[in-house]
Amino acid sequence: MVVDYIQRPKSRFLRVKCNDCENEQVIFGSASRKITCIVCGRTLAEPTGGKSTITTHILEVLE
């Protein structure tokens, strides 16, 4: 039996939807800077020590 011991990153890209303008945007789940909506400027995610705090709706986790 062969087992894969290849480590994979825990960080993912996320498709999110802005609560104000309904714009869909792809963001990085472990961003090191504040992420704002490109249409209305609302904050979508804020950095913490590791993973970002997502302040909007997550539609999909991209592989």
CA atoms of 32 and 15, how far apart (whole Å): 17
Reading the block at residue 21, the tokens are 């303008």
18 is in an annotated binding site: yes
40 is in an annotated binding site: yes
37 is in an annotated binding site: yes
CA atoms of 36 and 46, how far apart (whole Å): 9
Q: Which residue has the tokens 């894969």?
A: 4
Binding residues: 18, 21, 37, 40
Instruction: Please give the annotated binding residues for Zn(2+), written as ranges.
Output: 18, 21, 37, 40
